[in-house]
Amino acid sequence: MIGVIVSEKEVEPVIEFFELFKTPWEFYTPGQNYNVLLSTKHCIPQTNQKLTILFSSDEDKTGLFEEISAGTKYKNITANYESLEAPIYGNLLTFKGKGQPILFKEREVAGLKINRSSSTIIILGYDLFKEVHHLLSVGQPKEKAHIPTLDIHISLLRNMIKEAGIPLVEIPPTPPGYEFMACLTHDIDFAGIREHTLDHTTLGFIYRASIWSLARYLMGKLSLRNLMENWSAVIRLPLVYLGVAKDFWLQFDAYADIEREFKSTFFFIPFKNRQGNHISPSRGRKRATQYDISNLSEIAKELRDKGFEIGVHGIDAWVNLGKARQERDRILEYFSGEESGVRIHWLLMNNDTFNLLEEAGFSYDSTIGYNEAIGYRAGTQQVFKPFGVKRLLELPLHIQDTALFFPKRMNLSNNKALELCERVIRNAKSYHGVVTTLWHDRSLGPERLWKEFYINLLDKIKEHRVFFAPAGEIVKWFRRRRTVKFKEVCLQPDRIKLILDHDGNNEYGDKTPSLVVRLHYPKRQHPGDQSAPSIGNDYTEVLLNRETFLEVPFTPFSSNRDFMH
């Protein structure tokens, strides 16, 4: 059990942090003994803890340890832990003194480990829970998009506990038997090119499919086959308007075929010709759509009947409660589900958005992401609860097609784009959680022609043990994980006994994947220590369904892919 000592203003980010790092913890109770004591305050009581961790950028708190003195204080810099980069958005304090350096700011030391006879003390020069609050509210700039910063903070804490020789129990953020989860989503911004006559959308398409495609071909950025396909689409355009040729922007059948094994989520616009509030007129005409759910209700119904999910592509839901309710109710006229989800058109949001969405009746949002980059705006691959709401959960967006390929965004080649996407996939394998992709409705057809890349991306994801599900099912699984509470933890020489409080399958049903309790073995502290396995990443897992009492035995040489019942 981890005992946590923090100031009152840190309570909310502490609670959310330990929903993501799902391990036994509680706010410090005087007289209670803890294996690990984590503090951000001057108060560090002696409870016979084996490990004490102090997170603080306050120079005065270094006086708690006579071996250490304060160095230089920095702000908004990057620290290094082993081979990992960890952006620090608040203050970072460096230290001088005795101890083993474990965190660095270039050549300066920002974290020290002090080994004493019966315990270990670690002092880290940043404010962990202020960082958590920043990541889950403000988020990361696009320059740091590639770093899963919050997941790294969790990994760092996990490693420190294991390296102190303490076994660690957690419920990892992925179902048993899988390395991570994947959620495929689509924002439906168009209902085919036939809905547009000679407006800015059609004229833009003609230019990009003809002149710009030729320029990209001459620069070596477009294949001859794709150039011919784009030119052919321009030539066929009059026939599309006459209804003789197929509308090449309607790609729903192609998505249904590509994703027939996986099932994805389609976010549909509720009202046509609405530019939205707080949008300048020059930009607003580009934001308004020429369709709404009534135009595509039959297509959406067919998708739903095949197992795909329908969500709301919100226009003003991010800024206006009345319109948020209208937009949700409009989609619910046609489709309803256990989880009512939304993603705001153009990824717009402000400080009040989450509260508005929750009050309007949405159960999840998937707007946190980048238009100009791929990666981790909130620093995590996990579904999380935004601050200030009671039930709404956020499914962060990680990979967006237009961010990768638009000339005014990343403007990447296919090879470079796939390389960056593979980095996201590797991070998902390392830290678990979910990879959320966004491929727009028209991105498979001319002039974008990103179908082949999308199939290649899915193939790269499928190389791993991945649980695919629509957004609502992913959120439902994380919601179930959040219900689990560790009431008691009893460590014995050969096992850990757990008393849990959770809803099991009573609310979430047998179709929701199970949870798993994972016991990490502590790393050996000394070469002669035979009480822990030599490989620090070994663990045992026990399936968790309806149980409220579990015994997790120490079996150091069992496979970490096997489950004990």
Burial of 177 (C-beta count, 10 Å sphere; 0-12/13-18/19+): middle
539 pLDDT tier (thresholds 50, 70, 90)? confident
Whether the per-residue pLDDT at 511 is higher than 80: the answer is no
3-state secondary structure of 423: helix
| Mean pLDDT for the chain overall | 90
d(CA 429, CA 418): 16
Show the tokens assigned to 558: 């069992």
Instruction: Decide if pLDDT at 509 tops 80.
Output: no
CB atoms within 10 A of CB 454: 19
Fold of 2-170: Rossmann fold (3.40.50)
In the predicted model, is pLDDT for residue 563 greater than 80? Answer: no
Q: Tell me the pLDDT tens digit for each residue of 342-386.
A: 999 999 999 999 999 999 999 999 999 999 999 999 999 999 999
C-alpha to C-alpha distances, 70 to 54, 91, 130, 548, nearest whole angstrom: 14, 13, 20, 46
CA 7 to chain centre: 27
What are the boundaries of each domain within the chain? Answer: 2-170, 180-192+249-477, 194-246, 485-564
Residues 6+ apart with CB under 8 A from 454: 258, 401, 439, 443, 444
Largest distance between two CA atoms of the chain: 84
pTM, two decimals, is 0.93
Cα gap 413→187, rounded to integer Å = 23
State the burial class of residue 83 (Cβ atoms within 10 Å of its Cβ: 0-12, 13-18, 19+).
Answer: exposed
HSE toward the beta carbon, residue 292, CA cutoff 13 A: 16
What pLDDT, on a 0 to 100 scale, did the predictor assign at position 564? 37
Residues 6+ apart with CB under 8 A from 66: none
Would you state the structure tokens that stand for residue 289, as one six-digit string? 């759509």
Report the amino acid identity of residue 159. Answer: N
Report which of residues 265 and 278 the model is more confident about.
265
Domain 180-192+249-477 has CATH 3.20.20.370: yes
Measure the CA–CA gap between 393 and 383, rounded to whole angstroms. Answer: 7
Round to whole Å and give the CA distance between 428 and 465.
11
The per-residue pLDDT for 119 is 87
Terminal CA-to-CA distance of the chain, rounded, Å? 23
The pLDDT, as a whole number, for residue 82 is: 86
